[in-house]
Chain A
Amino acid sequence: EVQLVESGGGLVQPGRSMKLSCAASGFTFSSFPMAWVRQAPTKGLEWVATISTSGGSTYYRDSVKGRFTISRDNAKSTLYLQMNSLRSEDTATYYCTRERGFDYWGQGVMVTVSS
């Protein structure tokens, strides 16, 4: 059974950093590009970043470029999102998902940016 389990969320002050993790199991993690998608409270879904299977290629939405870094450890079957210089508009539930079709999603982790 495919499982994606996010962790690392919580309350953080504006300008500070936070790192999210997503532990994958039930499939060959290294064979799938992965993505982070977020959803602000009561809002729709918004793609954040994608990483290729090897980690050699990464892609970001404009509003997080230079602040967020997506990475992966294929040996640990784990996806990461390092978020720096956080802003109130980054407040959202963050989901990790398999970017090939968006076919499996984690339960999500809430990130609240507030003083």
Chain B
Amino acid sequence: DVVLTQTPPTLSATIGQSVSISCRSSQSLLHSNGNTYLNWLLQRPGQPPQLLIYLVSRLESGVPNRFSGSGSGTDFTLKISGVEAEDLGVYYCVQSTHAPTFGSGTKLEIK
């Protein structure tokens, strides 16, 4: 199975601060069709996950553009440029290039 290692496990940020979350894969996520199926999800407390970023860097419709994704191969990053209060929750990376696996999550707390 592909293992996704997310760091840090927790983040504490003030409103307006920029933060980054890393997701490293045990195998390349580049599919033979040329796509890299690495997405980012946010799960707010008591809610199901919601999609933020798909195919590494594409912003899901309706998601604020303070969220951005980057990376390739085995190394990926989610950046929030100017944290807002509504961003608190747990962030997960997920890959579906191989049998789907999720990262262990990064909990974002607001100071």
Query: Do A101 and B49 have beta carbons less than 8 Å apart?
Result: no
Contact A44 to B100, CB < 8 A, known contacts A102-B41, A105-B48, A108-B48: no
CB neighbours (8 Å) of A47 from chain B are 99-102
Chain B residues 42-101 with CB under 8 Å of chain A are 43, 48-51, 54-55, 60, 90, 92, 94, 96, 99-101
Contact A45 to B102, CB < 8 A, known contacts A99-B96, A102-B41: yes
Chain A residues 19-50 with CB under 8 Å of chain B are 35, 37, 44-47, 50
Query: Do A106 and B54 have beta carbons less than 8 Å apart?
Result: no
Q: Distance in Å from the Cβ of B71 to the closest Cβ of chain A? A: 17
Q: CB within 8 A of A45: which of B50, B60, B92, B99?
A: B92
Query: Do B48 and A44 have beta carbons less than 8 Å apart?
Result: no
Query: Do A101 and B102 have beta carbons less than 8 Å apart?
Result: no
Most chain-B Cβ atoms within 10 A of its Cβ — which of A59, A99, A101, A104? A101
Per-residue interface assignment for chain A, residues 63 to 85, with 1 indicating a CB less than 8 Å from any chain B CB and 0 otherwise: 00000000000000000000000
**Count of A interface residues, CB-CB < 8 Å:** 19
Query: Do A46 and B102 have beta carbons less than 8 Å apart?
Result: yes
CB neighbours (8 Å) of B43 from chain A are 45
Q: Distance in Å from the Cβ of A62 to the closest Cβ of chain B? A: 8
A61 beta carbon closer than 8 Å to chain B: yes
Name B residues whose Cβ lies closer than 8 Å to a Cβ of A: 39, 41, 43, 48-51, 54-55, 60, 90, 92, 94, 96, 99-105
A47-B101, A101-B54, A105-B49 given; name 18 further pairs at CB < 8 Å: A35-B100, A37-B100, A44-B103, A44-B104, A45-B94, A47-B99, A59-B99, A99-B100, A101-B51, A101-B96, A102-B41, A102-B51, A102-B94, A102-B96, A103-B51, A106-B48, A107-B48, A108-B48
- What are 20 A-B interface contacts by the 8 Å CB criterion? A35-B100, A44-B90, A44-B92, A44-B102, A44-B105, A45-B94, A47-B100, A47-B102, A50-B100, A59-B99, A61-B99, A95-B48, A95-B49, A101-B51, A102-B39, A102-B94, A102-B96, A102-B100, A103-B60, A104-B51
